[in-house]
Amino acid sequence: MSPITVVNVGYRSTNYWVVSAGRSRLLVDLGWPGTMGRMHANLERMDVPLAEIRYALATHYHPDHAGLAQELKQAGVPLLVVDVQVAAIPRLKTWTKPRDGYVEITEHDNVVISFAESRAVLEDIGIPGEILHTPGHSDDSVSLLLDDGAAFTGDLTHPALAGEAEVAVVQESWRVLRERGATRFHPGHGPVWPMPAAAPPS
């Protein structure tokens, strides 16, 4: 199996991660609406041909993370959706304005899987890992966790920054990630961090 490499093709303060096993690749988070030109340019600069991206995965369906999902599909990249995310997809258009140039995601042609199926789907493209449900920022938030300990957590709130209303859910998501072997996280915004320590009991 090819070693796993990770590059960031992000822009506008948002990270878009290309996880590659040789030339078999997964794109994690999918650009702002109306920015396909920018995405193309960044992929090209990082030497990632669109044709080598086997799936596009949005950590959650907010505009800065899933804005180009449909255009990527139209360019030949299948959209990998976890079943808990299906209901969130149509809501995405309510957070965009016409001038954003958002192309609405069609629902009949996505690759919808369960968390339990995720390891086999990833293994098929040479990437050892799984997809986990990590709600807190939103109910449809998922994380990609590679077997080498790298977690791609989207906007999952850092445990130290969680507000009172969400803190229990956020801490549970971090607990799951830690328990499954995450050692460092690649967030949707900002730099890569080591895994936050477990919160002291309150």
Joined tokens for residue 125: 């493209």
CA distance 119 to 20: 15
Residue 25 or 60 with smaller CB distance to Zn ion: 60
Phi, psi of 180 (to 5 degrees): -85, 0
From the CB of 137, what's the least distance to Zn ion, in Å?
A: 6
Could you tell me which of 111, 114, 64, 112 has the C-alpha nearest to residue 92? 64
From the CB of 187, what's the least distance to Zn ion, in Å?
A: 11
Residue 21 or 63 with smaller CB distance to Zn ion: 63
Binding string to Zn ion for residues 7 to 46, with x set by CB under 5 A, is what? Answer: ----------------------------------------
Residues forming beta bridges with residue 185, ordered by sequence position:
151, 193
Q: Does 140 bind Zn ion (CB under 5 A)?
A: no
CB < 8 Å & 24+ apart, contacts of 71-74: 71/36, 71/103, 72/27, 72/30, 72/31, 72/39, 73/105, 73/106, 73/109, 73/110, 74/103
Residue 62 or 186 with smaller CB distance to Zn ion: 62
From the CB of 188, what's the least distance to Zn ion, in Å?
A: 7
Q: How many residues bind Zn ion (CB under 5 A)?
A: 2
Region of 45-53, 92-100, 147-155, 192-200 interacting with Zn ion (CB under 5 A): 147-155
Q: Is the CB of residue 111 less than 8 Å from the CB of residue 79?
A: yes
Binds Zn ion (CB under 5 A): choice among 62, 79, 102, 145: 62
From the CB of 138, what's the least distance to Zn ion, in Å?
A: 6
Identity of residue 183: T
Binds Zn ion (CB under 5 A): choice among 27, 155, 170, 187: 155
Category of 34 on φ-ψ map: left (φ > 0), alpha (ψ -120 to 50) or beta: left
Region of 4-12, 27-35, 114-122, 150-158 interacting with Zn ion (CB under 5 A): 150-158
Residue 130 or 140 with smaller CB distance to Zn ion: 140
Contact footprint for Zn ion (CB under 5 A) = 62, 155
